């Protein structure tokens, strides 16, 4: 294989790139300013949530970015922890991506809280050990520190010490992910979540999104740096592409189970919710997002190109990431739309509760996404030598 290293020929950070970063940061700042406004005036007048549907759009990017970070950490661990050298070339960028995705996720959930300023004090002074939220927030915060240490040691070329932090971070993020799914899956009040938040499904989805992000952002990173020729990263990306395909087939199976539950009540314990998802108001989300974008289109792109073209793999990655975001949105929202007293013949009780994200929620989500993109571009400018070493 003809690896062509262009690290020395990389163009220096131009003013255009800095301007691009500033533009992304400004959009992020604009979006996040809506979060500050919500914090000041309260969510009652700024969020689309209600007593019946207390969790809104912002929970979805939190779950999405936290799971994405989990997946990125798992893939980076294939090289760092399990010693699979094929993936070694993409480790620094993957670790950096894992850091900024988790930071983005934690920022989303912070802005989703009504009183985030109380978290630091009471999470430490009044911890609740049977609360999954307490565990996952604690674990994710520690994980973020471990990953930062891991990345710093990688930049200092101290691989052995970095590996120690990689192992700890890998264990931590797996535990965090299990608490993430249990947080919702153990709520017996919302049967839809209990049925769908299975640990295996959640870990598979996380790893899938990690692979998709690696395929997408490595391609963007190379394009951003002006690298056109094949590099040693390509072998790692093609290996990631294969893992991505296997996981897509696994998720395709889970999606099939959802489809069966949506059409045939005997396959589900929550026929109302599954029907709403597969045949009701959420059907466009499900069929276009969860089935088409998340699974079928990426699978088709990989099969057509046999997983050889990194630009097509990147396209499959962005399609999958978009679809999985929709999937998490559906999972969070649909789970809350079944009325609490639906079995009691209550007069004027709607068949489903309703929820629509407000302008504030959409802007905060946009701000978080642009925060992530700005951080990624900043990383490309600051760490390009490390990425290409």
The residues that touch other proteins, with contacts defined as CB under 8 A, are: 42-44, 49, 51-52, 54-55, 112-116, 118-119, 122-123, 126-135, 137, 139, 175, 178-179, 181-190, 193-195, 197-199, 336, 340-341, 343-349
Q: Which residues contact 335 (CB under 8 A, 6 or more apart)?
A: 184, 190, 192, 193, 196, 273
Task: Region of 246 please: left (phi>0), alpha (psi -120 to 50) or beta.
Answer: alpha
Q: Smallest gap, in angstroms, from Cβ of residue 151 to other proteins?
A: 24
Rounded to a whole number of angstroms, the minimum distance from the CB of residue 319 to other proteins is: 28
Q: How far is Cα of residue 291 from the mean position of the Cα atoms in its chain? A: 17
| 20 or 201: CB nearest other proteins | 201
Output 221 or 357, the one with its CB closest to other proteins.
357
Q: How far is the CB of 126 from other proteins (least distance, A)?
A: 5
Shortest Å distance, C-beta 65 to other proteins: 17
Nearest-Å Rg of the Cα atoms of the chain is 21
| For other proteins, the closer CB: 96 or 193 | 193
Contact (CB, 8 A) for 340 and 29:
no
Q: Cβ closer to other proteins: 62 or 244? A: 62
- Per the CB < 8 A criterion, the answer to whether 289 and 198 are in contact is no
Q: Which of 139, 243 has the CB closer to other proteins? A: 139
- Nearest approach in angstroms of CB 274 to other proteins is 15
Residue burial 362-382, b: 16+ Cβ < 10 Å; e: rest: bbbbbbbbbbbbbbbbbbbbe
Between helix 59-80 and helix 199-225 the angle, nearest 10°, is: 80
- Residues 6 or more apart whose CB falls under 8 angstroms from that of 34 comprise 46, 359, 360, 363, 364, 367
221 close to 215: Cβ distance less than 8 angstroms: no
**Residue among 52 and 230 whose Cβ is closer to other proteins:** 52
- Tell me how far, at minimum, the Cβ of 171 lies from other proteins, in Å: 10
């Amino acid at each position: 294989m003809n690896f062509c290293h262009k690290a020395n020929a990389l163009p220096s950070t131009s003013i255009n790139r800095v301007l691009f970063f500033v533009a992304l940061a400004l959009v992020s700042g604009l979006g996040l300013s809506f979060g500050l406004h919500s914090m000041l005036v309260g969510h009652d007048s700024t969020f689309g949530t209600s007593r019946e549907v207390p969790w809104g759009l912002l929970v979805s990017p939190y779950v999405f970015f936290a799971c994405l970070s989990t997946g990125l950490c798992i893939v980076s661990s294939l090289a760092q922890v399990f010693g699979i050298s094929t993936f070694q070339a993409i480790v620094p960028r993957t670790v950096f991506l894992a850091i900024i995705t988790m930071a983005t996720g934690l920022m989303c959930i912070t802005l989703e809280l009504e009183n985030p300023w109380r978290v630091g004090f009471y999470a430490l002074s009044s911890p609740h050990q049977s609360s999954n939220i307490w565990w996952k927030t604690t674990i994710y915060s520690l994980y973020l520190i471990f990953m930062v240490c891991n990345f710093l040691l990688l930049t200092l070329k101290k691989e052995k010490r970095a590996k120690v932090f990689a192992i700890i971070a890998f264990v931590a993020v797996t535990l965090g992910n299990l608490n993430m799914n249990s947080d919702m899956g153990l709520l017996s009040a919302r049967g839809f979540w209990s049925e769908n938040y299975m640990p295996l499904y959640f870990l598979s989805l996380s790893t899938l999104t990690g692979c998709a992000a690696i395929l997408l952002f490595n391609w963007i990173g190379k394009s951003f740096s002006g690298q056109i020729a094949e590099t040693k990263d390509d072998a790692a990306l093609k290996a990631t592409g294969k893992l991505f395909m296997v996981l897509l087939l696994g998720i395709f199976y889970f999606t099939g189970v959802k489809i069966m539950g949506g059409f045939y009540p005997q396959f589900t314990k929550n026929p109302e919710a599954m029907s709403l998802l597969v045949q009701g108001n959420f059907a466009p989300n499900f069929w276009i997002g969860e089935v088409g974008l998340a699974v079928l289109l990426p699978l088709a792109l990989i099969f057509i190109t046999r997983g050889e073209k990194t630009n097509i793999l990147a396209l499959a990655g962005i399609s999958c990431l978009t679809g999985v975001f929709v999937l998490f949105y559906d999972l969070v929202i649909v789970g809350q739309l079944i009325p609490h007293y639906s079995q009691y013949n209550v007069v004027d009780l709607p068949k489903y509760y309703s929820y629509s994200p407000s302008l504030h929620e959409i802007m905060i989500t946009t701000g978080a996404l642009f925060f992530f993109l700005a951080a990624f571009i900043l990383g490309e400018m600051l760490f390009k030598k490390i990425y290409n070493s």
